[in-house]
Structure 1
Amino acid sequence: MRHENGLGNSVRSSAVMPFSRSLRSASFCVMLSIAWLVPGSPGQAQNYQFSTIQIEGNNRIGDSAVLSRAGIVRGRAVSGGQLNDAYQNLQASGLFESVAIEPRGGTLVISVVEYPTINRISFEGNARIKDDALAAMIGSDARRVFNPTQAEKDANSIAEAYSNDGRISARVQPKIIRRSQNRVDLVFEIFEGDNVEIERLSFVGNRVYSDRRLRRVLGTKQAGLFRALIKRDTFVAQRTDLDRQMLRDFYNSRGYVDMRISAVNAQLTEERDGYFVQFNIQEGQQFKFGDMSVTSTINGVDPAVYRNIVKAKSGGVYSPTLVETDIARMERQAIRDGIDFMRIEPVITRNDRDLTLDVEYRITRGPRVFVERIDIEGNTTTMDRVVRRQFDSVEGDPFNPREIRASAERIRALDYFETAEVNAREGSSAEQVVIDVNVVEKPTGSLNFGGSFSSTDGVGVAVSFAEDNFLGRGQKLNLTVSTAEDAKRYGLGFVEPSLLGRDVAFGLNLDYVETNSSYATFDSERLTFSPSLSFPVSENGRLQLRYSYEDFEMIARDPAEHGPVIGNDIAAGSQTASSVGYTFSYDTRRAGIDPTTGMLLQFGQDFAGLGGDAKFVKTTAKIVGEKQIFNEEITLRASLEGGALAWNEGTNRVVDRFLLAPSIMRGFEAGGIGPRDQSGSFDDPLGGNLYVVARFEAEFPIGLPEEYGINGGVFYDVGNLWDLSDVNTTGGNIVGEDGSFRHVIGFSIFWETPVGPLQFNVSKALQKETYDEDQSFEVTLRTQF
């Protein structure tokens, strides 16, 4: 294909050259004509009177439109300067490739050559960014007039998009192909170049926290093993602003209120294929809370009442987040007390001698300003009500700036939008405020095809569809089809996070699972239907209420493969359970008060007997804690969990009892500990009605470069599984019914990969029973508590 180089021979980083040599020649001739018209001496002004104005060369643009843009009126005297202005106006209109103005006696001849229209726009050489995405970046449009200035802007936009993707050497060259009827094809020839990666992220001036720890804070990442899959290791200048803010927030939340970033230096390598990025930091000193007090200027407001709400303690590490949380608590109390327009201003007094900050919460009466309305723009998919429910304020409520800032953070946390800006401006009067919400939508759905592996279910293929903003209603929808070697699953999940406009989440789960596991001597089919409601009951507490219907059948694979106890369970056939239950969870991670500490507490019960074949009470409990020490280089975790099953009616089968998987008790196969039926040559795990497991773990760097994403760890697990009360053990030879505690030690390798965090465990059972099935090596997909 032959391209006319109408925009210059080369455009590097989209710098567009003059349109054509003929255009330059025509412009030069016109300027000579204008020079002839304009008097040689400023003192000799000359006017011209034209009885006729003749316009030549215009096809699409009418004579009146040309004259209007030129600013010339027939029959009116014009000066040489006005003729020059007419030429400049026509040239600047962007409609004409060339313009000439020539007086011929009483006739003024305006000759124009119109820019061609764009027949089609195409892109060549692009692979990283698709045509549709590039087309959305440009302002040129097919069937409109070609404008070289706009083409220059379009080339700049494309080059900038590649630069933001880390390809600063990308070149964009716009060219035109002449067609008949004054039409052209506009072609953007693109040389994408290679990614310019961040070879090294370093810090200067940090004494408390290591480079390794600070690199984990940044959104920008250092190029690592999976640089072809991870795009955050490319250098984007605009991203450094966000990185600076993330570093400041990190230090401020840990009491370093004087922390400053003096500069961020980005230097290209000599080969121009990588960047060295360096953050210059001044950490300052760590401050703690000093005296905490509450004062009030509002009659009838007792400061002592609000002082009791303050959770920040003298001597604790200062955190702006904790101050904001205290203010939010006091404002909620004011609403309950019926006090409008109450404002709480934290007054900070600095004590450099003892490195403390005294905090005085001043309660004052704020201005009587109301929310007039909330305007939402840019949400082409997401419904207005999804955004509005992130506000605690509605039209007519008192205006609270702090609450509006918190609402903006909740809107961004939805992760439905590329950007979300929330601003307040004066409304129809000084007592009214309009809240403007401007958002830019982003894709919220995903269709995934991949493989799956687990030590219990084998290798398989997984297909899943997930939509976090279903139909723009803020609802979550998940469809999963997993065909693992030993387990097939078909699942549907749905969540409405704001039922009837309240902070109540409605969930619905429908699952069908078939198992053919090598860890069991039978096959199974299970159908589960479970709707639920979940809502907050305290600042960190949440309660889930649910109903569950389950149809579970154990199917004989080969009678010669299992013992009599499993045979009794299989003989019971399909059994249904209809139950109601609840789970209370207390999670301090939601508040984020102490960034180095987190705790999760869960307690739940299910009561079966509302119809169905089984009647039982199943209780589970878990508590997990995490603490980062040694300047957050080492993470300590501890957990304690247990369960109890009280059976009353129906057949208490192995699939109803607790079976400990490696995810609960490391160092053993699934069902590797607990009661077993060892009748004859059989060795069937039977599970148990009671279990308890404690897990202790430390994670730490092992000296490898941080960009590899590999850390090490050691762990110690101790647990027990026992009790076969209300179990039909007729004909069986049962061992381990009374249980005993097993002890396991081991070390782990944690590896952050693009497909997810992997964990490799190597373990050794210090204490076990002779009939246990231990497992010295295990690979799992790491989960966070």
Structure 2
Amino acid sequence: MILGNAAGTSRYVSRFPAYMLYQALAFIFLFVATTSLVVPTPAAAQSYTFNSVQVEGNQRIQTSTIIAYTGIEAGKSISAGELNAAYQRIVDSGVFETVDLQPRGNTLVIQVEERPTINTVSIEGNRRIDDEALQGFIESKSRQVFNPARAEADAAIIAEAYSQQGRIAATVTPRIIRRSDNRVDLVFEISEGDTIEVERISFVGNQVYSDRRLRRVLQTKQAGILRSFIRADTLIEDRIEFDKQVLRDFYLSRGYVDFRILGTNVELTQERDGFFLVMNVQEGQQFRFGSITTSSEMSQADPVVFQDVLRVRPGVVYSPSLIENSIARMERLGIQQGIDFLRVEPRITRNDRDLTLDVEFVLTRGPRVFVERIDVEGNTTTLDRVIRRQFRIVEGDPFNPREIRESAERIRALGFFATADVETREGSAPDQVIVDVDVEEQPTGSLNLGGAYSVTDGFGIAIGLTENNFLGRGQRLSFNISTAQESDEYILGFSEPNLLGRDLRFDIDLGVTTRSSSFATYDLDRAFFRPALSFPVSENGTVQLRYSYENSEMLSRGEDFDTSTNPPTPLPTSGAVITNEIAQGKKTSSSIGLSYSYDSRVTGLNPNAGVLFQIGADFGGVGGDSEYIKSSAKIIAQQRVLNEEVVLRASFEAGALSWQSDRSSRSIDRYILTPAIFRGFEPAGVGPRDQSNGFDDAIGGNYYAVARLEAEFPLGLPEEIGLRGGVFYDVGNLWGLENVDTAGATCGGVVGPCGADGSWRHVVGVSLLWTTAFGPLRFNFSKALKKEVFDKEQTFDLTIQARF
């Protein structure tokens, strides 16, 4: 038993190690497998080595070019990332629709499908914008590789062009038509849609100025009855931003320093055919100038002297432009006194109690910086000197930022450039500045076709050919033809604005005029030559020196005969005075003249008021057949009242002729009044007349004086109609017949020309002013309160001046 038990135990023990071994092996295998899933092991990076590269599917693009895109070298090992980069470079070339890279052992196979080339680019469905204009917007061109992304971008550009015309509903769809040889026709299909106009512009928060007055400031306009001719009534985002700035400038120039635009709201009408534009504004209070003082931080700058050049006075409505003008005047004085680097710093103190702004102009020394040079770029036609002469400084002068800004404005005001940017940068040293002028030329020539009507000359047309930048020299050359029912005029003009590089303007006009007026019994031929020099003598004052040579002749319109006599005897064709003047034949006049003009309508202290004053005289006898002194004067004052809704205007003009030749003067030498000078009468309907021989001719006078008072005001009609009303009162006289041959002249049987001594005529009237797309129309309805029996009254006058 013991042996048996021992033997049994021995067999059990011999089996146990094998069982445990199987258990251990299973556990080790499970542990290794689990560990391999949890703990990452570094993998070997995949690499490729290609001995050759094959390209399949290419037709236009050479195989070597495609391989060059990859940058893969034969026999050189590359990674998978480098292979992917090679793929991306081929795709980025933009000439393939599909690209596939297939490694085949030691050979890389590149399969491509080329994008088609554009055969033609056409535009369909457009009527408002022509093909030529739209083709200039897009980048897709014939013989280029077709790029879908570029075609979509071109479609967006075309749609934006329609949006700028108010057609925001316009859609543009690019489509392709497959052709042979992997070519396509690219077609932009346009649905223009309707123009969505600005139906109403209104303001919220304005107390001082009415909606009507503020709308006149904006470039965006309400849709009116002439909307087919006016493009400003469409909603353009950039234009609204410009209008907001213009509106700010309008209020600031009138002293409303706290003015704010709180918001701009644009709403589509319920019918979705128009917009309502609402501007929410906050006007604030109007401020005026308080005390105005000058102090100096420079020993050589006397503040008293600089204070004396200021034109701004306490009590004047505040305007930033007046501050700018004052600073410019002071800095110019500093240059005249040889004070370099003078800067004027305005320090403003606000007085809310009395709504004034005290201004202290502090004279300080600016940084010691000089102008190293002025670089001009972009001017392909305009000469450099035309641009450079707009600067009041040259290389080596002290640098003045204000002068640079003013020079930039003068360059833009030339009208020669679409854009003109003037910037400064540091030069070769910290105390040197380089001024960069970058311009973009624009067309400066124009062909003007116009129509006109007046009771003096009837209907007519005007053709004008003008080049404002002749040969890139900044000179103006023009040729104008004006033909009407009763007059023809041909004028060739030339202007040089900066003669000899100075602020000296030279003008010359050559012309021929013929007239056959129904208001006279004679015709007129005239040729003239008129050069002139003009130059400023003050901020608002200009002097002109001129010469005039004229060859003129009064012509009879033919000779009638009395057939009741044998032989027939000639009948007179004009009155006695006109007949004597016709008999003088051709006469020449050679004169020199001098005139002075003062105009504050733009640069005055008050933006709502201005004065124009002109005085001059011409002295005949510098050769020619006529000796005389002919002087004239004119003054016009204008003021806007009632929140600038009503315009009041007063004017006075007069002239005097002192004839000194032995031979008598002619009607065309003396003054003749037209409706443009004295309303309520026909052309030459006022003043001395010759009614002898059964005729009735105006013969003019040696003296005249006319005063005009008028007011213009709104009629309460919708502004888009463009109608305003007016009333006027004119008083004037034309008289004086010294040195006139009146032999045989009668007036209603009375010997001597009528109205030689003259009398004052009085006229009242009403006007209807209509601003149209064709030009301003003025209808005058008048009544003479006092006149002479021989005057020729005219109760209605219509004047049209249009350019299109």
- Shared fold, TM over 0.5: yes
From 684, 696, 706, give the equivalent of 2:709. 696
2:13 corresponds to: none
Contact 2:453 2:801 in 1 (8 A): no
Which residue of 2 is the match for residue 470 of structure 1?
Answer: 470
Give the one of 657, 668, 678 matched to 2:691: 678
Q: Is the 8 A contact 1:321 1:593 kept in 2?
A: no
Of 74-83 and 449-458, the range deviating more from structure 2: 74-83
Q: What is the aligned partner in structure 2 of residue 216 from structure 1?
A: 216
Work out which of the residue numbers 591, 606, 615 in structure 1 matches 2:627. Answer: 615
| Alpha-carbon distance between aligned partners in 1 of 2:41 and 2:463, rounded to the nearest angstrom | 83
Contact 2:420 / 2:439 at 8 angstroms: preserved in 1? yes
In structure 2, the residue matched to 1:724 is 737
Q: What are the Cα deviations for residues 483-514 of structure 1, in whole angstroms up to 9, with x where unaligned?
A: 21111111112211111221111111111111
Give me the whole-angstrom Cα distance separating, in 2, the residues matched to 1:97 and 1:614. 87
Q: Are residues 1:669 and 2:675 paired? A: no
Q: Which range is displaced more, 339-348 or 48-57? A: 48-57
**Which residue pairs with 1:162 in the alignment?**
162
What is the deviation of 1:558? 4.5
> 1:468: how far off?
2.3
Amino acid of the residue matched to residue 555 of structure 1? L
Residue 627 of structure 1: aligned partner: 639
Residue identity (%): 58
Measured in 1, the distance between the counterparts of 2:104 and 2:231 equals 65
CA contact under 8 A between 1:759 and 1:782: conserved in structure 2?
no
For residues 500-579 of structure 1, the aligned pairs below 5 Å read: 500-558=500-558, 560-579=572-591
Distance 2:414 2:132 in 1: 26
1:322 equivalent to 2:322? Answer yes
Note the C-alpha offset of 1:364.
0.8
Residues 269, 643 of structure 1: CA spacing in aligned structure 2 closer, same or farther, 3 A cutoff?
same
> What CA distance in whole angstroms lies between the structure 1 residues aligned with 2:714 and 2:353?
36
1:305-359 Cα shifts (integer Å, max 9, x gaps): 0011111111111111111111111111111101111111111111112111111
What is the CA distance between 1:782 and its match in structure 2? 7.1
Worse-superposed segment, 694-703 or 233-242: 233-242
Give, in whole Å, the separation in 2 of the partners of 1:351 and 1:462: 57
1:762 equivalent to 2:781? Answer yes
| 8 Å CA contact retained: 2:602, 2:610 | no
1:587 paired with 2:599, answer yes
| Larger CA deviation: 379-388 vs 457-466 | 379-388
Paired position in structure 1 for 2:390: 390
Q: 1 CA distance for matches of 2:417 and 2:510?
A: 29
Secondary structure of 2:660's counterpart equals strand
- Which residue of 2 is the match for residue 122 of structure 1? 122
Tell me which moved more, 366-375 or 173-182. Answer: 173-182
Match of 1:24 in 2: none
* CA distance in structure 1 between the aligned counterparts of 2:371 and 2:170, rounded to whole angstroms: 48
CA separation of 1:438/1:69 partners in 2, compared to 1, >3 Å: closer, same or farther? same
State the one-letter code of the partner of 1:541: G
1:778 aligns with 2:797: yes
Q: Which amino acid aligns with 1:270?
A: Q
Q: Please state whether the residue corresponding to 1:404 is helix, strand or coil.
A: helix
Offset at 1:41?
11
| Farther off after superposition, 234-243 or 655-664 | 234-243
Quick one: structure 1 residues 175 and 384, their matched pair in 2 at CA, closer, same or farther if it must change by over 3 Å?
farther
Mapping of 1:201-240 within 5 angstroms? 201-240=201-240
SS of match in other structure, 2:237: coil
Matches of 1:41 and 1:718, distance apart in 2: 111
Q: Aligned partner of 1:177: which letter?
A: I
1:694: Cα distance to partner? 0.3
Between the aligned partners of 1:697 and 1:537, the Cα distance in structure 2 is 31
Q: For 1:711 and 1:403, how far apart are their aligned partners in 2?
A: 42
Alignment partners' CA distance in 1, 2:692 and 2:649: 40
Asked whether the 8 Å contact 2:300–2:339 carries over to 1, the reply is: no
The Cα shift of 1:276 comes to 1.2
Q: Secondary structure at the match of 1:193?
A: coil
Q: Which stretch shows the higher mean deviation, 52-61 or 157-166?
A: 52-61
Output the amino acid matched with 2:502. R
Contact 1:572–1:651 (Cα < 8 Å) also in 2 = no
Q: Which runs of 5+ in 1 are unaligned?
A: 1-39
Check the 8 A contact 2:177/2:184 in 1, yes or no: yes
**Residue identity in the other structure for 1:769:** E
The aligned residue for residue 32 of structure 1 is none
Question: Could you tell me which residue of structure 2 aligns to residue 19 of structure 1?
Answer: none
Q: 1:490 to 1:225 in 2, by over 3 A?
A: same
Cα contact 1:513–1:527 (8 A) shared by 2: yes
Deviations 1:264-312 (A, max 9, x none): 2222223332211111111111111111111111122111100111111
CA deviations on 1:205-253 (whole Å, 9 max, x unpaired) are 1111111111111111111122111111111101112111111111111
One-letter amino acid of the counterpart of residue 696, structure 1: L
For the 8 Å contact 1:258–1:284, the answer to whether it is kept is yes
1:63-112 CA distance string (max 9 Å, x none): 44434433433333333333333323322221212111111122111112
Given that 1:199 and 1:275 are in contact with CA atoms closer than 8 Å, whether structure 2 keeps it comes out as yes
Residue type matched to 2:575 in 1?
G
Distance 1:41 1:535 in 2: 92
Match of 1:597 in 2: 609
Per-residue CA deviation, residues 382-430 of structure 1 (Å, 9 max, x unaligned), is 3322222222122222111111111122222222233322222222222
TM-score normalised by structure 2 residue count: 0.90
Match of 1:374 in 2: 374
Deviation at residue 522 of structure 1 after TM alignment: 0.6
Q: In structure 1, how many angstroms separate the alpha carbons of the residues matched to 2:137 and 2:591?
A: 55
Deviations along 1:686-714, one digit per CA (max 9) or x if unpaired, are 11000000000100001111111111010
**C-alpha distance in 1, partners of 2:390/2:605?**
21
> Hey, what's the Cα distance between the residues in 1 that align with 2:118 and 2:158?
19
Letter matched to residue 683 of structure 2: A
Deviations 1:441-465 (A, max 9, x none): 3333222334321101112232222
The residue identity in structure 2 corresponding to 1:608 is G
State the number of aligned residues: 744
Structure 1 residues 300 and 464: CA distance shift in structure 2, 3 A: closer
One-letter code of the match for 2:761?
Answer: R
Larger Rg, first or second structure (1 or 2): 2
Q: Provide the secondary structure at the position in 1 that maps to 2:694.
A: coil
- CA deviation string 1:753-785 (max 9, x = no partner): 1222111100111111111101100011479xx
Which residue of structure 2 aligns with residue 189 of structure 1? 189
Counterpart in the other structure of 2:135: 135
> Mapping of 1:283-298 within 5 angstroms?
283-298=283-298
1:442–1:232: structure 2 CA closer, same or farther, 3 Å change rule?
A: farther
Match of 2:756 among 732, 737, 742: 737
**Secondary structure, in 3 states, of the residue corresponding to 1:553?**
strand
1:592 CA displacement: 4.5
Contact preservation (8 Å) 1:742, 1:768: yes
Q: Return the letter of the residue paired with 1:564.
A: A
Matched with 1:712 is 725
Mean Cα deviation higher: 97-106 or 254-263: 97-106
What amino acid is the match of 1:602?
A: Q
> 1:276: which partner in 2?
276
Say if 1:741 and 1:768, in contact at 8 Å, map to a contact too: yes
Aligned counterparts of 1:263 and 1:44: Cα–Cα separation in 2: 65
**Structure 1 residue 625 displacement after superposition:** 0.5
Match of 2:630, as an amino acid? K
Matched residue, 2:145:
145
8 Å CA contact retained: 1:67, 1:73: no
Q: 1:45-64 to 2 correspondence within 5 Å?
A: 45-64=45-64
Preserved CA contact (<8 Å) 1:540 1:590: no
The 3 A distance-change label for structure 1 pair 378 and 179 is farther
Secondary structure, counterpart of 1:238 in structure 2: helix
